């Protein structure tokens, strides 16, 4: 490819002028990279973040050289500037607004983390109280949405309901659709965070043929969610606080993950000025895929298929045989080339939940633990830096709680909604926001003459 373009090399000019102190942020480039294209030397500014690799700003590359860059899957491309989440995949670090994920999971709660992601700081006591109250007041959905659900077959995958129901909110809440008004943007964020658990529980209730359970404003966020999932009008349930806390932790761990596929989808959809509810619907569609949020459901299916610890070696053999097309689900990550820090927290939470429910001998957990042990000592996985990811244990916890596997990705969507709206809000507030419009390397047919039907072979 480089020969084709006449592109010979990139030089990073890293001399920092004496007057420039330490690292500069994206606003103030202080180094440049030189790209030799044919006989031209082009210089591009380098931008430093607060942490992580610096980037080469190639936005003027096409104008100056007539060439695009080619980076399928965005392996080397930063699509935006963001202050929300930092990941160091080699070191296994994940931070929201500078706070380590394990500290947030252990010491904070989901709505506090939602506030942090949206506004950049942990709330003080008064701010927290107001925020929790605000979100609580938005948990109910328009009654008409009950009819939307009733239009779907009961056998629908709940993610199909979620894609439709989330986007349909734009038909109900016209007073928060003007993306140019900050107050309306904020109202949309609150509504999405508050209503997603209600929609998720409705998707579950609809699939099992139960009546919908309305949100209860005297319950905490996760407690209310579990209540809407499991209560019935005939039988009140008292949500087990250990399970509510575990759910809260799971939601925190899944809340944001910088520019992953679904978040990038939300940003891309929103870049055209589309309303936030429709954009979140697009994000949910992207999350549904088995390489992304659908993996936790796939993990349980895989563990069930393995069926017994004694079948693990045979399964691993299949995974290593590329022609089988079988992957070890819940293992590997585009960014983490180390143990996913979320998986660490979840492994512990999994043991706590199973102990609380008296299911510590759960056969699937035994298979998972043994599978992990074997994979982590196998050359195939070591060489490729494949470690358990967030989905490896979450499914076992959900299953123990009585949540059907089709709902797993829906729970991921409930949590990630916070990240999506925080990233959307950040993008809307960014003066550099432009419509997302990637280019391509065209390899199709050159111009040719139209052939009439009767002359085609
Ligand atoms: N099992 C077996 N081999 C694997 C796996 C796996 N789970 N993941 C990657 N590999 C191999 C892959 O075959 C390739 O081998 P080779 O170099 O010999 O061709 C090498 O590792 C690199 O894989 P890749 O597909 O180029 O890596 P990627 O960064 O494009 O893919 C991934 C990341 C998450 C899609 C992939 O690891 C995967 O499919 N994992 C299983 C699905 C899963 O658990 N997804 C949840 C991700 S975490 C939740 C989320 O953020 O949504």
Binding site membership of 333 for ligand 1 (Cβ less than 6 Å) = yes
Of 332, 341, 379, 419, best ligand 1 pocket probe by most atoms within 8 Å of the beta carbon:
332
Q: How far is the CA of 332 from the centre of ligand 1 (A)?
A: 5
Q: What is the pLDDT of residue 58?
A: 96
> How many Å apart are CA 355 and CA 158, to the nearest integer?
29
- Indicate whether 25 pLDDT > 80: no
How do 31-37 and 40-47 pair as beta strands? Answer: antiparallel
Q: Which of 303-317, 354-368, 414-428 shows the lowest per-residue confidence on average (mean pLDDT)? A: 354-368
Higher pLDDT, 156 or 7: 156
At 196-250, the pLDDT tens digits run 999 999 999 999 999 999 999 999 999 999 999 999 999 878 999 999 999 999 9
pLDDT at 21: 39
Q: For 99-122, write each residue's pLDDT tens digit.
A: 999 999 999 999 999 999 999 999
SS in 3 state form for the chain?
Answer: CHHHHCEEEEEEECCCCCCCCCCCCCCCCCEEEEEEECCEEEEEEEECCCCCCCEECCCCHHHHHCCCCCCHHHCCCCCCCCCCEEEECCCCEEEECCEEHHHHHHHCCHHHHHHHHHHCCCCCHHHHHHHHHHHHHCCCCCCCHHHHHHCCCCCCCHHHHHHHHHHHHHHHCHHHCCCCCHHHHHHHHHHHHHHHHHHHHHHHHHHHCCCCCCCCCCCCHHHHHHHHHHCECCECCCCCHHHHHHHHHHHHHHCCCCCCHHHHHHHHHHCCCCCHHHHHHHHHHHHCCCCCCCHHHHHHHHHHHHCCHHHHHHHHHHHHCHHHCCCCCCECCCCCCCCCHHHHHHHHHHHHHHHHCCCCCCHHHHHHHHHHHHHHCCHHHHHCCCCECCHHHHHHHHHHHCCCHHHHHHHHHHHHHHHHHHHHHHHHHCCCCCCCCCCCCCCCCCCCCCCCHHHCC
Q: How far apart are CA 234 and CA 207, in angstroms?
A: 18
pLDDT of residue 16: 39
334 lines ligand 1 (CB under 6 A): yes
Q: Whose CA is nearest to atom 16 of ligand 1?
A: 384
Confidence of residue 13 (pLDDT cuts 50, 70, 90): low
Tens of pLDDT, residues 253-282? 999 999 999 999 999 999 999 999 999 999
Closest Cα to atom 15, ligand 1: which residue?
384
Stretch 345-366: mean pLDDT? 89
Instruction: Say yes or no to pLDDT of 324 above 90.
Output: yes
Query: How many other β-carbons are positioned within 10 Å of the β-carbon of residue 23?
Result: 14
Averaged pLDDT, 401-430: 96
Helix axis angle, 312-320 to 295-306, nearest 10°: 130
**What is the reported pLDDT for 27?**
52
Q: How many residues are present in the chain?
A: 457
**Of the candidate ranges 137-141, 170-174, 185-189, 296-300, the one whose mean pLDDT is the lowest:** 296-300
Please work out whether the CB of residue 329 comes within 6 Å of at least one atom of ligand 1.
yes
Contact 110, 221 (CB under 8 A): yes
Protein residue with its CA nearest to atom 36 in ligand 1: 332
Q: Is the CB of 399 under 6 A from ligand 1?
A: no
Residue with tokens 């990550």, as numbered in its chain: 333
Residue 440 has a pLDDT of: 96
Residues above pLDDT 70, as percent of the chain: 93
Q: Whose CA is nearest to atom 10 of ligand 1?
A: 332
Kindly state if the Cβ of 327 falls inside 6 Å of ligand 1. yes
What average pLDDT score do residues 6-11 get?
Answer: 47
Cβ 391 under 6 angstroms from ligand 1: yes
pLDDT value, residue 254: 96
Looking up tokens 């508050």, which residue turns up?
194
The mean pLDDT of the chain is: 91
Q: How many A from CA of 328 to the centre of ligand 1? A: 8
* CA distance linking residue 30 with residue 110, whole number of Å: 39
Q: What local confidence, expressed as pLDDT, does residue 26 receive?
A: 57
| pLDDT tens-digit series, residues 54-102 | 999 999 999 999 999 999 999 999 999 999 999 999 999 999 999 999 9
What is the model's pLDDT at position 292? 85
d(CA 363, CA 441): 49
Ligand 1 center from residue 35 Cα (angstroms): 32
417-451 confidence digits (pLDDT tens)? 999 999 999 999 999 899 999 999 999 999 999 99
Is the pLDDT assigned to residue 2 strictly greater than 60? no
> Which active-site residues does the annotation give?
333, 391
Instruction: Look at residue 11 in the predicted model and tell me its pLDDT.
Output: 53
Q: Name the residue with the closest Cα to ligand 1, atom 39.
A: 291
Share of the chain above pLDDT 90, in %: 82
Ligand 1 centroid, distance to 269 Cα (angstroms): 26
Q: Across the strands, what pairs with 377?
A: none
Distance of CA 367 from the midpoint of ligand 1 (Å): 20
The minimum-distance atom of ligand 1 relative to the CA of 299 is: 44
Query: Where residue 132 falls among pLDDT bands split at 50, 70, 90?
Result: very high
pLDDT of residue 393: 87
How many angstroms separate the alpha carbon of residue 59 from the centre of ligand 1?
30
């Amino acid at each position: 490819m480089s020969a084709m373009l006449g592109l010979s090399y990139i030089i990073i000019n890293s001399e920092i002028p004496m007057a420039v102190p330490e690292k500069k942020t994206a606003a103030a480039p202080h180094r440049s990279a030189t790209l030799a294209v044919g006989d031209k030397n082009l210089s591009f500014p380098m931008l430093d973040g607060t942490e992580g690799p610096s980037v080469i700003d190639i936005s003027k590359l096409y104008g100056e050289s007539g060439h695009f860059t080619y980076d399928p899957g965005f392996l080397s491309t930063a699509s935006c500037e963001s202050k929300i989440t930092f990941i160091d995949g080699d070191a296994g670090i994940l931070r929201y607004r500078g706070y380590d994920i394990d500290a947030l999971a252990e010491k904070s709660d989901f709505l506090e983390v939602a506030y942090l992601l949206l506004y950049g700081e942990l709330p003080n006591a008064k701010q927290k109280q107001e925020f929790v109250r605000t979100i609580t007041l938005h948990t109910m959905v328009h009654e008409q949405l009950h009819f939307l659900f009733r239009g779907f077959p009961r056998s629908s995958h709940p993610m199909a309901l979620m894609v439709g129901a989330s986007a349909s909110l734009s038909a109900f809440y016209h007073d928060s659709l003007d993306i140019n008004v900050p107050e309306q943007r904020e109202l949309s964020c609150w509504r999405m965070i508050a209503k997603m658990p209600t929609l998720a529980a409705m998707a579950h209730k609809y699939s099992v043929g139960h009546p919908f359970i309305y949100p209860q404003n005297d319950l905490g966020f996760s407690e209310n969610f579990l209540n809407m999932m499991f209560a019935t009008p005939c039988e009140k349930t008292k949500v087990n606080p250990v399970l509510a806390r575990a759910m809260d932790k799971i939601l925190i761990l899944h809340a944001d993950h910088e520019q992953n596929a679904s978040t990038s989808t939300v940003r891309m959809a929103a870049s055209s000025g589309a309303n936030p509810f429709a954009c979140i619907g697009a994000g949910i569609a992207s999350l549904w895929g088995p390489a992304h949020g659908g993996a936790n459901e796939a993990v349980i299916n895989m563990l069930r298929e393995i069926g017994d610890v004694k079948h693990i070696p045979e399964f691993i053999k299949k995974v290593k045989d590329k022609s089988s097309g079988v992957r070890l689900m819940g293992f590997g990550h585009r960014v983490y080339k180390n143990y996913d820090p979320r998986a660490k927290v979840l492994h512990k939470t999994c043991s706590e939940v199973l102990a609380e429910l008296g299911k510590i001998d759960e056969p699937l957990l035994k298979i998972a633990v043994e599978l992990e042990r074997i994979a982590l000592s196998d050359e195939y996985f070591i060489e490729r830096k494949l470690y358990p990811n967030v989905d490896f244990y979450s499914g076992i916890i959900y299953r123990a709680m009585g949540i059907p596997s089709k709902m797993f990705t829906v729970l991921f969507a409930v949590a990630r909604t916070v990240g999506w709206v925080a990233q959307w809000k950040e993008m809307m507030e960014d003066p550099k926001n432009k419509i997302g419009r990637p280019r391509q390397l065209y390899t199709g047919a050159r111009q040719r003459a139209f052939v009439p039907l009767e002359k085609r072979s």
